[in-house]
Amino acid sequence: QVHLVESGGGLAQAGGSLRLKCQASGGTFSTYAMGWFRQAPEKERELVGTINPSGGGQYYPASLRGRFTISRDNIADAVYLQMNSLKPEDTAVYYCAARHGYSDIYAANQDYWGQGTQVTVSS
């Protein structure tokens, strides 16, 4: 059982930056691919990006590529989401997820989820 706790959310102005952290515990972190997803009110949960277990490969949807960066620290059992040039449409609850083995872009295929952290971007 892997336990995930997100932190770092809050209020940011458009054009600003935030860095989210997801702290993992209870499993062998380096064997899990990690993903960040987000869900805005009345919208489906969508992929923000993934990172493979070693940290050597990331994937981002084209709409977010260049603004968001995922990294991980397999010693500290943590994964990070650096968000730059924030826009009001980035407002959502951000979730981290873990999947044993290789990365997967689909929310339904993740094994574990955190409770989420709210990000609000004001214009």
* Cα-based distances in Å from 99 to 39, 63, 94, 119: 19, 23, 17, 23
From first to last of the 123 residues of the chain, give the pLDDT tens digit. Answer: 899 999 999 999 999 999 999 999 998 999 999 999 999 999 999 999 999 999 989 999 999 999 999 999 999 999 999 999 999 999 999 999 999 999 999 999 999 999 999 999 999
DSSP state of 65: B
Residue 3 backbone phi and psi in degrees, to 5? -110, 130
- Both tokens of 37, joined, read 């997803």
Quick one: pLDDT at residue 84? 98
β-sheet with 78-83: strand ranges across: 3-7, 18-25, 78-83, 68-73
Residue 25 CA to residue 17 CA, distance in Å, equals 27
